[in-house]
Amino acid sequence: MNLLDPLFRSQAVEKVFSNRATLQGMLDFEAALARAEARAGFIPATAAQAIEAKCRAELYDMTVIARAAANAGNLAIPLIKQLTVLVAQKDKNSARHIHWGATSQDAIDTGRVLQLRQALALIAIELDNLAVALGGMAHKNRATLVPARTWMQQALPTTFGFKVAGWLDSIERHRARLAETQERCLVLQFGGAVGTMAALGTRGLDVAKNLAKDLQLPLPDLSWHSHRDRMAEIATTLGLCTGTLGKIARDISLHTQTEIGELFEPSADGRGGSSTLPHKRNPVTSAVVLSAAVRVPALVSAMLSAMVQEEERGLGGWHAEWETLPEIVRLTAGALHHLTSAITELEIDASRMRQNLDITHGLIFAEAVTMALAEKIPRAEAHEIIQRACKQAQSQHAELRSILAQEAIIKSALSGAELDRLFSPGNYLGVADQFIDRVLATSESSREKKKSRTK
């Protein structure tokens, strides 16, 4: 079923994990292996050319391969059989050299690594775009006042820019993690039957070096057939990222509630409507991202469980990765793509944010008054006085400032002008602005470093 793909997926990443792309990844390995072995003198150069000519996914019957895999136990075995038939039709001698000294897992794992390299590069670009969008939003809204909420209730004044800087700060860590993961985990898999390249004698490393260079993949110190920490790291890195995307989506969706009404996802014909309620403007992107945040953790758990593999070749654990890891990548990419698109057009109602600061009738300034009063009398006593005044304001549905203005001890300790200052939200933001600057500086520095590395 792919009816829901436009809703949950990223079209660019979906192409990377299509049936044809999956076969092409393994065929790219086989073609590169033939070239590497020809350069090392294991097979004739003409054989490498003949093999390479048939390593095109469009030449293969995917239905036949899929059905044969049910008996063979993996896709590589029937794929290599078809490759052999195709090459033999033109050159039987060259067909003898296909898959020389390799094992199915070499083709499957390296093919998957080639797919992951493409997909993670696309995800990295999307993360860059999201970081830029969040950076601009944080800077623009550094003075946009909004209630900060803890345990779902108003706590203190803050700025929307500070909230967005928190989102950006997390995304920057994911950018760094992903870059490290790409460097550490996207490596060649080539070891032959049990990882020792025994079929290639003492020159296996010569072939491996040629193969790694051809595919532009790092050559690890040894093959990693049953050591799956690299695949698990990719899964967990993306799982962490999806969790943050879910946190951002949760925040946005809470702000879109009718009673709050501070944020709105982009509006367009057919977007966010209801089949029965004409007035609805549902946060559809938040729903998509949150659905990924619900699904991905269990998939990551499967990848972690699959790490416990037997001896030199896993039985079942390796197989469990084949659909699980691509699904993690696809869900993460889809959530990231849709959230980035929505963030760039997010509607911010600054006036509603300011209005919502007043709905507690001044209770949101209770800590500010407490701290000011604590400079004149013991803090515990100040806390008790303000707490009592808050309860009175709540029971009487009165303004906290008017209650405090009637307290003799408040009058003696704080002037009217001081109370006015304490009940102004812009005066109790701490170092929010400095924090925003720090996050923006880190984000900008990260982008500049990335640009310099890619030059």
CA dist 159 and 140 (Å) reads 11
Q: Is residue 230 a contact partner of residue 212, using CB atoms and an 8 Å limit?
A: no
Q: Where are the alpha helices (DSSP H) in 256-316?
A: 284-305
- Which residue from 46, 68, 220, 47 is spatially nearest to 23, judged by alpha carbons? 68
Catalogue the E-assigned strands of 64-164: 145-150, 153-159
Select which of 274, 351, 402, 415 is catalytic.
Answer: 274
149 is catalytic: no
What is the helix (H) or strand (E) element at residue 264, kind and residue range? strand 263-264
Catalogue the E-assigned strands of 335-444: 347-348
274 is catalytic: yes
Select which of 203, 313, 352, 354 is catalytic.
Answer: 313
CA dist 143 and 364 (Å) reads 18
Q: How many CB atoms lie within 10 A of CB 350?
A: 14
CA dist 145 and 356 (Å) reads 10
Sign (positive or negative) of CA dihedral 367, 373, 374, 377: negative
Q: Is residue 343 a contact partner of residue 167, using CB atoms and an 8 Å limit?
A: no
Tokens of 149: 């909420």
CA dist 3 and 7 (Å) reads 9
Q: Is 449 exposed, middle or buried (0-12, 13-18, 19+ CB in 10 A)?
A: exposed
Sign (positive or negative) of CA dihedral 255, 257, 261, 264: positive
Contacts of 447 (CB under 8 A, 6+ apart): 128, 131, 132
- DSSP structure class, residue 262: -
Q: How many CB atoms lie within 10 A of CB 148?
A: 15
Tokens of 26: 């393994």
Q: Is 426 exposed, middle or buried (0-12, 13-18, 19+ CB in 10 A)?
A: exposed
Tokens of 455: 């030059």
CA dist 37 and 41 (Å) reads 6
CA dist 156 and 420 (Å) reads 16
Sign (positive or negative) of CA dihedral 121, 123, 129, 132: negative
Residues labelled catalytic: 274, 313
